[in-house]
Chain A
Amino acid sequence: MNEKLAVMVNNLHVKYNDYLALENVSFSVPHPSITVIMGPNGAGKTTLVKSILHLVDFYKGDIFVFGLNVREHEKKIRNLIGYVPQREKVTEHIPLRARDVVLLAKMVKTGPLSIPTKRDMLEVKDALEKVLLPKSAWNKRFNELSGGQKQKVLIARAIVLKPKLLILDEPFSGVDTVSQREIMSFLSSLKKKGISIIIVAHDINPIVEHVDYVLLLNKKMIAFGKPRSVLTEENLSRAYGIKVHVIVRGEACYAIIGDRHA
């Protein structure tokens, strides 16, 4: 295992039938770090994270997670990665309580008919406390929670399995500013504990202070690097196809993009 690089993508090409979703994407994410993948709708952001998880097959290129080729070590890399899907992909009509959602992930990993131990329950409690989900919400049905609370539950479900890399697909969509800040400062604390984070986001501005690397994508890789070097008017305009303004304040820079979706 390579402990220095969380993800290494070489010359990645992904096709859906005849549609080229990603073309010649190459980058390396140092470990531990926080990386944001951004780009317009249909840029291939979700396709890229699904390729890292080997949920979609790529016809050309290689992806390594902690030095392991995802094609050859699918099972191993899925044990290393915690995945938080887009919230709308999750079914809401099933009466699962917040704590059940987290416990379910823990128990399916343990195997059929296993009974939750005291330790399992403590780990679930610990995960829900870490993501700052109010105790009053723990026994509520998932569909009764607010957008931010649902996101926290899904993050708790991912971290309860103790991943080394956490991938979140649009975690801030439909989440209020306070919850966004809480989630982001929690993700920063995870990085300090040695967990790498990859976030797919439309709007980087609320989280830019916490971000180490930005990957700007529009089917091809437009730029990858530190936020200051990637978030330039030229790069953003190339990615989004419209005029983009960038405001620099201290170490942080903020992009004013027409198509934000956040």
Chain B
Amino acid sequence: MLEILSNPFIMRAIIAVILIAFVSSSIGSLTIFRGQSFLVAGIAHGALAGAALAIFLDYYGIIPGMNPILGAALFGLAMALGIGYFSSRDSREKIDIIIGISFALAMSLAILFISMIREYAVQAWGLIMGDLLLLTSVDLVLLIIISSVTVFLVTLFYREFVFISFDEEGAYALGLRVMLYNYLLLVLTALSVVVLLKGVGAILVYVMLIIPAAAANNIASNTSNVMILSLVFALISGLLGLAVSLVLNVAPSAIAGLIATIIYIITLAARRR
């Protein structure tokens, strides 16, 4: 056991799972409250397109040494802010359509760039699949910074975020700066998604960020309980996923995703009883 824990890859993976659980608890819960869970999948695919573009620019020597994570962050942020801008100009019902269109655009760009970088495409595939056991110290530092900032700001403006999610019109009437909080949440969501990409991958980032919070929302009696339960569910999924993956030698994020989904189904059944 101690031998396993002394392995730096495994230690980094365990720390990452704990940090991801905190991000899931804060950002995941608020995204569920806002009714914008699809946004996470949209941003993830936007970030993937950005990473693929960064690799493309580096590959053809247009911007040598450009970091894929920087490209992912720029694209993820642009997508989040674009969605925020267009959805604020339109009715709330249409946000799903705006996210869906951005999603399609991002995926088209991602596939286009990946097809143009040929042998380097493996780097982009790494961000699609993700691997907790391949995180570097730099990845971990990035994750620590973003998750700390996210948890701090969500704690600071927790009530404002919940209020605008519950009753946006009432929040405006009360004099809250709804747009500011909306954009702040979008930026935090985008940055969280980007730092999670390398660990859990563009596809499973949705599972790790949203499913624990959605499961918690099924059974929690109040909003604080949603945050606490989603933290617990994300920790169980992540740590158990990691343990099972070490035994069976399979991808940890995939097992974590399966466990999170099982937890969601159980909470759904519990709610209906």
Q: Which A residues fall within an 8 A CB radius of B?
A: 53, 55, 74-75, 78-79, 81, 83, 85, 89-91, 93-97, 100-101, 104-105, 107-109, 112-113, 141, 154, 157, 161
Q: Are A97 and B221 in contact, CB atoms less than 8 angstroms apart?
A: yes
A229 to chain B, nearest CB (A): 31
Could you tell me the distance between the alpha carbons of A90 and B92 in the complex, rounded to whole angstroms?
A: 12
Interchain residue pairs with CB less than 8 A apart (28): A55-B173, A85-B167, A85-B169, A85-B170, A89-B167, A89-B170, A90-B170, A91-B33, A91-B165, A93-B32, A93-B35, A94-B217, A95-B221, A95-B222, A95-B223, A95-B225, A95-B226, A96-B222, A97-B222, A104-B159, A104-B162, A104-B166, A105-B170, A107-B159, A108-B163, A113-B155, A141-B221, A141-B222
Q: Are A112 and B160 in contact, CB atoms less than 8 angstroms apart?
A: yes
Could you tell me the distance between the alpha carbons of A181 and B159 in the complex, rounded to whole angstroms?
A: 33
Determine the main DSSP class of B at the interface with A: helix
Chain A residues with Cβ below 8 Å from B169 are 55, 83, 85, 89
Instruction: Count B interface residues, CB 8 Å.
Output: 29
Q: Which B residues fall within an 8 A CB radius of A?
A: 32-33, 35, 155-157, 159-160, 162-163, 165-176, 217, 220-223, 225-226
B252 to chain A, nearest CB (A): 31
Q: B156, B162, B166: which has the most chain A beta carbons within 10 Å? A: B166
* Nearest B residue to A89, CB-CB: B169
B116 to chain A, nearest CB (A): 42
Chain A residues with Cβ below 8 Å from B160 are 108, 112
Given contacts A100-B223, A104-B159, A108-B159, contact A91 B174 (CB under 8 A): no
Could you tell me the distance between the alpha carbons of A109 and B171 in the complex, rounded to whole angstroms?
A: 10
Given contacts A55-B173, A108-B159, contact A96 B166 (CB under 8 A): yes
* Nearest A residue to B157, CB-CB: A112
Could you tell me the distance between the alpha carbons of A105 and B225 in the complex, rounded to whole angstroms?
A: 19
Could you tell me the distance between the alpha carbons of A100 and B223 in the complex, rounded to whole angstroms?
A: 9
Could you tell me the distance between the alpha carbons of A101 and B165 in the complex, rounded to whole angstroms?
A: 12
Could you tell me the distance between the alpha carbons of A100 and B222 in the complex, rounded to whole angstroms?
A: 8
A198 to chain B, nearest CB (A): 13
Q: Are B222 and A113 in contact, CB atoms less than 8 angstroms apart?
A: no
Could you tell me the distance between the alpha carbons of A125 and B223 in the complex, rounded to whole angstroms?
A: 20
Q: Are B173 and A90 in contact, CB atoms less than 8 angstroms apart?
A: no
B205 to chain A, nearest CB (A): 22
Q: Are B174 and A95 in contact, CB atoms less than 8 angstroms apart?
A: no
Chain A residues with Cβ below 8 Å from B170 are 83, 85, 89-90, 105, 154, 157
* Nearest B residue to A55, CB-CB: B172
Chain A residues with Cβ below 8 Å from B221 are 95, 97, 141
* Nearest B residue to A85, CB-CB: B169
Q: Are A91 and B159 in contact, CB atoms less than 8 angstroms apart?
A: no
* Nearest A residue to B221, CB-CB: A95
Q: Are A91 and B167 in contact, CB atoms less than 8 angstroms apart?
A: yes
A97 to chain B, nearest CB (A): 6
Q: Are A94 and B223 in contact, CB atoms less than 8 angstroms apart?
A: yes
* Nearest A residue to B218, CB-CB: A95
* Nearest B residue to A77, CB-CB: B175
Could you tell me the distance between the alpha carbons of A89 and B172 in the complex, rounded to whole angstroms?
A: 13
* Nearest B residue to A109, CB-CB: B174
Given contacts A94-B223, A112-B157, A141-B221, contact A101 B173 (CB under 8 A): no
Q: Are B217 and A108 in contact, CB atoms less than 8 angstroms apart?
A: no
Chain A residues with Cβ below 8 Å from B168 are 89
* Nearest B residue to A103, CB-CB: B159
Could you tell me the distance between the alpha carbons of A154 and B160 in the complex, rounded to whole angstroms?
A: 17
List 4 tightest A-B contacts by C-beta distance, closest first. A83-B173, A78-B175, A85-B169, A90-B167
B92 to chain A, nearest CB (A): 9
Q: B173, B176, B220: which has the most chain A beta carbons within 10 Å? A: B173
A169 to chain B, nearest CB (A): 9
Chain A residues with Cβ below 8 Å from B167 are 85, 89-91
Q: Are A91 and B222 in contact, CB atoms less than 8 angstroms apart?
A: no
